[in-house]
């Protein structure tokens, strides 16, 4: 394996020419995410041994208890990106507002902004369930050398130049796209190198796995209730299998490999859905579409949604194209 498989570094260099209009900045940006992922991975893997799990004692802007590792991962990604002077701004689930990175410096020619969920599913850390980092990369829309503004972050998912996730699971992987398909790289922890292990990842058109927290069933829109009943009916290749890890990156990753659909609809507690558009749904939607899948809010393509707020939430239905379209059909009929 080691002799033949391409490393992430080699892959980035080989595909450099595909990154339009960039002088290697995007490559350096992906590389810095790789470095931060290795640092976070090291601490996620030993979280049970040191005093780094459990609540941090603060709440994020979502009002959610911040886990120590959430805050730690957030700091690692932000510091890594800041220190390499590659981006002009960062938005994070753990930060109330976006962070300007020297963008007021007129000599700052950095043109990318990053939006990140530094540790998605972190409530699973204490029970040793895999978690992930999700990132989304845009070219800024305001002139270089001027301070970044909120409009640099409130861009439609369609405008992303790259997106990806890190999954800290039985093995640690980086899966990302720059608009030229989706590729997965697995970390060899013995030498700290990511190797191309899953080239050209694709969702199957159909699947037999549905992922939804059925504990919220009573609060789901009728269309989603009807779709879940459809998944459970004895007919053709159904009933489907229900698999829900409670970690978006893990459920998404399994569904992309095996075929399936992930649904987080509106609920009583989250009338706009729970997942955030900018740093969870848009990056996962970009990856899904690049892997022949689909991502919708039940009625609209996720990447067409015009963002209005940094931490806005949307209902999220994502995965194998035919399964998403079937769920949308039930939503239209409700």
Per the annotation, where are the binding residues for Mg(2+)? 93, 117, 119-120, 280
Work out which of 183, 247, 255, 320 binds ligand P6P, going by CB under 6 A. Answer: 247
Q: Are the C-beta atoms of residues 262 and 319 closer than 8 Å to each other?
A: yes
Work out whether 248 is an interface residue with ligand P6P (CB under 6 A). yes
* Closest distance of CB 284 from ligand P6P, Å: 10
**Burial code of 23-32, b = ≥16 C-beta within 10 A, e = fewer?**
eebbbbbbbb
Work out whether 208 is an interface residue with ligand P6P (CB under 6 A). no
Which residues carry a binding-site annotation? 93, 117, 119-123, 213, 244, 274, 280
Q: Measured from the CB atom, is 123 or 202 closer to ligand P6P?
A: 123
Work out whether 121 is an interface residue with ligand P6P (CB under 6 A). yes
Work out whether 94 is an interface residue with ligand P6P (CB under 6 A). no
Q: Measured from the CB atom, is 30 or 249 closer to ligand P6P?
A: 249
Spatial distance between the Cα atoms of 60 and 92, rounded to a whole number of angstroms = 10
Work out whether 319 is an interface residue with ligand P6P (CB under 6 A). no
Work out whether 120 is an interface residue with ligand P6P (CB under 6 A). yes
Both tokens assigned to 45: 């893997």
* Closest distance of CB 215 from ligand P6P, Å: 7
67 half-sphere exposure, CB direction, 13 A CA radius: 19
Q: Measured from the CB atom, is 147 or 246 closer to ligand P6P?
A: 246
Q: Which residues share a beta bridge with 229?
A: none
Q: Are the C-beta atoms of residues 190 and 204 closer than 8 Å to each other?
A: no
* Phi-psi region at 319: left, alpha or beta (left = phi > 0; alpha = psi -120 to 50): left
Work out whether 25 is an interface residue with ligand P6P (CB under 6 A). no
Selection from 87, 72, 121, 88 nearest residue 247 by Cα: 121
- The backbone torsions φ and ψ at residue 243, rounded to the nearest 5 degrees and listed phi first, read -135, 120
Site residues (vs ligand P6P, CB under 6 A): 120-121, 123, 213, 246-248, 251, 274-275
């Amino acid at each position: 394996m080691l002799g033949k498989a391409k490393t992430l570094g080699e892959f980035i260099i080989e595909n450099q020419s595909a990154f339009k209009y960039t002088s290697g900045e995007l490559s350096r940006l992906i590389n810095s995410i790789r470095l931060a992922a290795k640092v976070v991975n090291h601490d996620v893997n030993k979280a049970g041994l040191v005093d780094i799990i459990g609540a941090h004692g603060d709440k994020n802007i979502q009002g959610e208890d911040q886990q120590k590792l959430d805050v730690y991962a957030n700091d690692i990604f932000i510091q890594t990106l800041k220190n390499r002077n590659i981006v002009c701004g960062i938005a994070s689930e753990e930060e109330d507002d976006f962070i300007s990175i020297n963008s007021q410096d007129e000599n700052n020619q950095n043109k990318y902004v990053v939006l990140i969920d530094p540790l998605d599913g972190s409530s699973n850390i204490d029970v040793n369930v895999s978690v992930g980092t999700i990132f989304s990369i845009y070219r800024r829309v305001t002139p270089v050398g001027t301070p970044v503004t909120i409009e640099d972050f409130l861009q439609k998912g369609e405008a992303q130049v790259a997106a990806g996730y890190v999954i800290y699971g039985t093995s640690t992987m980086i899966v990302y796209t720059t608009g030229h398909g989706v590729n997965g790289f697995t970390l060899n922890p013995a030498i700290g190198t990511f190797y191309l292990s899953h080239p050209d990842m694709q969702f199957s058109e159909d699947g037999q796995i549905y992922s939804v927290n059925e504990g919220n069933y009573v609060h789901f829109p009728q269309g989603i209730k009807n779709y879940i009943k459809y998944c459970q009916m004895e007919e053709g290749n159904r009933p489907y299998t229900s698999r829900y890890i409670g970690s978006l990156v893990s459920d998404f990753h399994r569904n992309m490999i095996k075929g399936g659909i992930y649904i987080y609809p509106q609920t009583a507690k989250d009338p706009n859905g729970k997942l955030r558009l900018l740093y969870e749904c848009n990056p996962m939607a970009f990856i899904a579409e690049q892997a022949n899948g689909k991502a919708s809010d039940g009625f609209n393509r996720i990447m067409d949604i015009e963002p209005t707020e940094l931490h806005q939430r949307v209902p999220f239905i994502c995965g194998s194209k035919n399964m998403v379209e079937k769920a949308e059909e039930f939503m239209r009929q409700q």
